[in-house]
Structure 1
Amino acid sequence: MKILITGGAGFIGSAVVRHVIDQTDDEVINVDKLTYAGNLESLKDVSQSSRYHFQHVDICDGQAITQVLNDYQPDAIMHLAAESHVDRSITGPAEFVQTNVVGTYTLLEACRQYWSALPEERKSAFRFHHISTDEVYGDLPHPDEMEGELPLFTEESSYAPSSPYSSTKAASDHLVRAWGRTYKLPVIVTNCSNNYGPYHFPEKLIPLIISNALAGKPLPIYGKGDQIRDWLYVEDHARALYTVVKQAQPGSTYNIGGHNEKKNIDVVLKVCELLDELRPKTTPYRDQITYVQDRPGHDRRYAIDASKIEKDLGWKPQETFETGLKKTVEWYLNNAQWVEHVQSGAYQNWIKENYEKRS
């Protein structure tokens, strides 16, 4: 099977690429614009495989996408390319609209034309798998707000996005489903909870805390740190996504979560505890915690009901939050050069030296 993965140099995308190359016999075409968060250094261990191909292409460039589709003739699309940082979407929403909405539309149209021309057997087997977020659902009641059993997001939950980021992802979800219904393009949508793990750009909570802690900088916590997220180890997510693209039926939707609801402050305290154990210093890392003004429209709680994907496709996470977080902290401690390259921008030089000279 040939799988075209958009955003394959990003955090989740690179995990999917590594999984496909390392764990299967399938072929990958990685299409990535290489924005600040796209890092080919995250794929150096698989980049020499004869089953791996990279195309430096923006999904908003319909002509280039069409050329890639015609050249490689993929059997499936896994669409992960997106702007994804909520804080950046608040200060600069235009880029999110362009990539997440216009880019998804452009990709859908190119794929529709490509799929329509396929022989019937390949046409019926083709899949367009759109990877989205639980943030499209808005937020859920917090334990401070109600007693008893708390609700979870299901595949039937209403959309109520709060941020420019989540609203653009919601728009892209709607576009994908519309192309499925109107044009019969065989689409699948998955919505995931907060991912964490190796190769995460250090602007997101867990890698930011690790990086700041080691540098002796403040560990910033929004508000009281009582926002609750469901945490999913990125390699578990990669396995889930591959399972979906291989097994799910067109028109289906799956929520993918880690069954790990944690308050942000508890996540930070756990990271500090692991650093105290693995990289001890004279004072505990938790002393660096500082509370900052909450961001506008901050959702208080997300939580995924992932029972459908387990029932239908047999997937469930292999990592607990404790095992996954320890692996994550250890990876960052053992890969200081990757982090330094990302923070300094030197990974762009790595790309030029290790990719562009071979192109």
Structure 2
Amino acid sequence: MTKKKLLITGGAGFIGGNFVQYMINNYPDYEIYNLDLLTYAGDLIKHSEIQDMDNYHFIKADISDRQTIISLFDKEKFDFVVHFAAESHVDRSITDPEIFIKTNVLGTQVLLDAAKQSKVEKFLHVSTDEVYGELDFDPSEFFTEDTPLAPNSPYSASKASSDLLVRAYHETYNLPINITRCSNNYGPYHFPEKLIPLTISRVLNNEKVPVYGDGKNIRDWLHVYDHCAAIDLVLHKGVNGEVYNVGGHNEKTNLEVVETIIEELGKSDNLIQFVEDRLGHDKRYAIDPTKLEKLGWKPTYNFETGIAQTIQWYLKNEDWWNQIISGEYKDYFKNQYSLDKK
């Protein structure tokens, strides 16, 4: 029996990397191909234990490199594509939008052309709740799959554009697709510029933690392991052409998240420093995952359990994040935030 071939783009990043691990562990009869350009937010250290497995293959490539991608699809004849690869940090998109358009829009279009030509069984595009824009603070309002797209940052605009391209390839060319839109993820191997790992690393080093504005912006937090299970379900059982929202029902203000981490680590709130708010900072995200739950998914982590586990992971893996924050990231952080010395 021929093994199914699954291409995971962005599999050296945070969510994609966890999904590579998830699929290797749960589908030993699949050939897993991890395609990643290994930009600043990607690393292969996380895959050191699986790199020599017979059914794991790494390919270093740029998804916007048409010739390379088309040739790869022609050669391998993938059955499934799960597309994570994207520039994803809102702050960086505000500073330099162009790379977000190149990777997130043009790169997705190249992958869609390759998938169409090679007749893949399913193209699953992993997107974000940020494409919906923002909600006010009314706790009864949630994003659904029918919420109009209204992105407010260059990042979310690039993701909304790629979502629409994926939909168009389904409608025009009958490409079998699904789109998932998730809330904020957290968990192992989260790149240190994002709120939770940023806070953990800064607090452990007794350094000031920057909090935008008044810290009252609300996000819905989803453990990355729950997200991986959701993508698995949609990949294999999702109705062709449908969008599925993936949310954890764990709404917290940014300040609450930071305070929780500080308390867990036994440090002082004096480490919090409010900084000038981000441009176009969305007030609140919150997802209604009812459609996905009807398909058979439920989150297994609440925020309290998940954040405690995540903090412990960062405590045990200081070597991984320390080698990241000691490089180019240090210069980026210095330029991004204006903090008083502790």
TM-score tier (shorter): over 0.9
Q: CA deviation at 1:150?
A: 2.1
What is the TM-score when the length of structure 2 is the normalising length? 0.93
Deviations 1:84-113 (A, max 9, x none): 000000000000010001111111111111
**Could you give the per-residue CA deviations for residues 119-150 of structure 1, whole angstroms, max 9, x where no partner exists?**
xxxx6xx000000000000000114xxxxx52
What does residue 18 of structure 2 align with?
15
Are 1:216 and 2:206 counterparts? yes
User: Could you give the per-residue CA deviations for residues 196-215 of structure 1, whole angstroms, max 9, x where no partner exists?
Assistant: 01101100000000111111
Aligned twin of 2:5? 2
Q: Which of 284, 288, 301 is matched with 2:271 structurally?
A: 288
Residue 310 in structure 1 maps to residue 293 in structure 2 = yes
Q: Quick check: 89-98 or 69-78, which moved more?
A: 69-78
Which whole-Å CA distance do the structure 2 matches of 1:45 and 1:221 have between them?
36
Q: Does 2:27 correspond to 1:24?
A: yes
Partner residue of 2:309 out of 302, 318, 327 = 327
Q: Which amino acid aligns with 2:312?
A: E
- Long gaps (5+) in structure 2: 329-342
Cα shift at 1:344: 2.9
The equivalent residue for 1:104 is: 108
Shift in Å, 1:345:
4.3
1:68 aligns with 2:68: no
User: Partner letter of residue 167 of structure 2?
Assistant: R
C-alpha distance in structure 1 between counterparts of 2:236 and 2:65, whole Å:
27
Name the CA distance, whole Å, in 2 between partners of 1:342 and 1:240: 29
Separation (CA, whole Å) in 1 of partners of 2:207 and 2:47: 29
Of 42, 45, 48, the match for 1:38 = 42
Q: Give the structure 2 partner of residue 120 of structure 1.
A: none
Question: Equivalent residue of 2:211, what SS?
Answer: strand
Report Cα offsets for 1:25-67 as digits up to 9, x if no partner: 2221001011100111121122222111000010001111122
State the number of aligned residues.
Answer: 325
Superposed CA deviations along residues 258-314 of structure 1, whole A, max 9, x for unmatched, are 1101111001110111111xxxxxxx33220010010110000000001111112x1
Letter in 2 for 1:59: I
Counterpart of 1:279?
none
Q: In structure 2, how many angstroms separate the alpha carbons of the residues matched to 1:135 and 1:217?
A: 29
CA distance in 1: counterparts of 2:268 and 2:18, whole angstroms: 29
State how far apart, in whole Å, the 2-side matches of 1:106 and 1:189 are: 17
Displacement after TM superposition at 1:181 (Å): 0.2
Supply the AA of the counterpart residue of 1:293.
E
Q: Does 1:52 align with 2:56?
A: yes
Question: What letter corresponds to residue 127 of structure 1 in structure 2?
Answer: K
Which secondary structure does the structure 2 equivalent of 1:221 belong to? strand
The answer to whether 1:268 aligns with 2:258 is yes
Partner of 2:147: 157
Residue 146 of structure 1 aligns with which residue? Answer: none
**How big is the alpha-carbon RMSD for the aligned residues of Structure 1 and Structure 2?**
1.3
Task: Verify the 8 A CA contact 1:141 1:150 in the aligned structure 2.
Answer: no
User: Which 10-residue stretch deviates more, 134-143 or 81-90?
Assistant: 134-143
Counterpart CA distance in 1 for 2:62 and 2:278 is: 30
Q: Is it true that 1:187 corresponds to 2:177 in the alignment?
A: yes
Contact 1:9/1:38 (CA < 8 Å) preserved in 2? Answer: yes
In the alignment, what sits opposite 1:134? 129
Whole-Å separation in 1 of the counterparts to 2:258 and 2:45: 27
Q: Once the 2 structures are TM-superposed, how far is the Cα of residue 327 of structure 1 from its aligned partner?
A: 0.8
Q: Secondary structure at the match of 2:265?
A: helix
- Answer yes or no: is the 8 Å Cα contact 1:187–1:250 preserved in 2: yes
Distance 2:56 2:157 in 1: 33
Instruction: Give the TM-score, by structure 1 length.
Output: 0.88
Question: Which residue, out of 247, 256, 260, partners 1:257?
Answer: 247
